[in-house]
Amino acid sequence: MGSLGNVTPQSMHFAEPLRLQSGAQISDYTLMYETYGTLNADKSNAVLICHALNASHHVAGTYADNPKSAGWWDNMVGPGKSVDTDRFFVIGVNNLGSCFGSTGPMHTNPATGKPYGAAFPLLTVEDWVAAQARLAERLGIEQFAAVMGGSLGGMQALTWSIMFPERLRHCIVIASTPKLSAQNIAFNDVARQAILTDPDYHGGDFYEHGVVPKNGLKVARMIGHITYLSNDDMAEKFGRKLRNAAETNDYKFDFGIDFEIESYLRYQGDKFSEYFDANTYLLITKALDYFDPAREYGGDLTKALAGTRAQFLIASFTTDWRFSPERSREIVQALVDNRRRVTYAEIDAPHGHDAFLLEDPRYMNVVRAYYDRIWGECAAKEAA
């Protein structure tokens, strides 16, 4: 297995307005994307990777100016890796409304000449998929070999199979859910309240004030982060270890840092608040809350998936309490009800929801084996 080496982000502008599920529209927009590997002659080997909350189009490889800039799924995508870029033409795309170059709240609103801020429309997973579909068209890809994602990325992959059933042969949904639970929504809403009530948020128009609601973002990220880790893994890694146990084994009796876990979470929160956009955080958590493909079918997921044509790989992780295996099994059941061909892997991994981003031989091998099958089909198709 090698590394992809240096990769280069690209951008594509779409001048046609995009009508959104809310009824609003975006007059024009830009999407950032990256591609790895080579599109074959019959364009049958394209794979689309959809990202989760805080990731981007930079899925794999590194940037020439920064050797530490490995993509967020670099352990999964590359030459000889589970998603083998010697075989597949892989596309990573930054979603609309995100903060890594695609059009978002920090960009200029053509209607006002000022940053969108609070005026940037709320989006749904369906809106993202509609925008991604236009990118695919412009790249000349009529049908993906696979659309794949983890967590919120998995929701996009599932939505592809519903909205564009003929435009993907395989749908790979990892550590995801057919809809958020009340508890999931609750955590998202607390995170939003932390941002919305930060005085530096300025009703979403903080750009003009030259500030960033860092405290709110920090708290939001700390909350989120707790839900990404498993209880057991947190106990194992941090337990009740004190921050400076080597120096003194005493409690500090102030509101500084006593425990390692506090130090870790505050650091994660601070780091996040330095690079992530508050409006993006808000709109992505709303897209998560709104995701519910069964909704227009009276809550019947089987009906919602009746029009799908793809084959499916669904994977979950035993210690994921954010989107537990039970939630993945609901998707599997609805697919089985529809007599779709579905492979389900429930992977015994200690790392909670975050497991979908981490190196784990069983996990990587499940995905590898599935892509071997996809590759076999591509080869057969080419030979035919």
Contact residues toward a second copy (CB under 8 A) are: 22-24, 121-122, 179-183, 185-187, 189-190, 192-194, 196-197, 199, 215, 218-219, 222-223, 226, 229, 231, 234-235, 237-240, 251, 253-255, 258-259, 261-262, 265-266, 269, 282, 286, 289-290, 292
Among 168, 185, 184, 201, which Cα is nearest to 353's? 184
Q: Which is nearer to a second copy, 92 or 352 (CB)?
A: 352
CB count, 10 Å around CB of 208? 10
Residues whose CB is less than 8 angstroms from the CB of residue 77 and which lie 6 or more positions away in sequence, other chains included: 4, 36, 49, 59, 60, 71, 83, 85, 90
**Least separation in angstroms between CB 62 and a second copy:** 32
Q: Which is nearer to a second copy, 238 or 297 (CB)?
A: 238
Cα 285 vs. chain centroid, distance in angstroms? 11
The residues facing 83 across adjacent strands are 77
Burial of 155 (0-12, 13-18, 19+ CB in 10 A): buried
**Least separation in angstroms between CB 297 and a second copy:** 13
**Least separation in angstroms between CB 94 and a second copy:** 22
The residues facing 63 across adjacent strands are 66
If you count DSSP H runs as helices and E runs as strands, how many of each does the chain have, helices first?
10, 12
> What Rg do the C-alpha atoms of the chain give, in angstroms?
21
Amino acid identity, residue 284?
Answer: I
Task: Please state, in angstroms and rounded to a whole number, the distance separating the CA atoms of residues 352 and 230.
Answer: 4
Q: Which of 56, 151, 161, 273 is catalytic?
A: 151
What sections of the chain are H helices per DSSP? 125-138, 152-163, 182-196, 214-228, 231-237, 260-275, 278-290, 301-304, 325-337, 361-383
309 is an annotated ligand-binding site residue: no
Known catalytic membership, residue 328: no
**Least separation in angstroms between CB 269 and a second copy:** 7
Q: Which of 320, 328, 351, 360 is catalytic?
A: 320
| CB contact at 8 A, 122 and 104 | no
Q: Which of 258, 277, 353, 360 is catalytic?
A: 353
For residue 43, give the DSSP letter: S
**Least separation in angstroms between CB 178 and a second copy:** 11
Known catalytic membership, residue 353: yes
Among 253, 202, 275, which Cα is nearest to 54's? 275
Task: Please state, in angstroms and rounded to a whole number, the distance separating the CA atoms of residues 192 and 219.
Answer: 10
Among 75, 4, 90, 61, which Cα is nearest to 358's? 75
**Least separation in angstroms between CB 143 and a second copy:** 31
Known catalytic membership, residue 320: yes
329 is an annotated ligand-binding site residue: no
Binding residues for substrate: 221, 354
User: Which of the residues are catalytic?
Assistant: 151, 320, 353
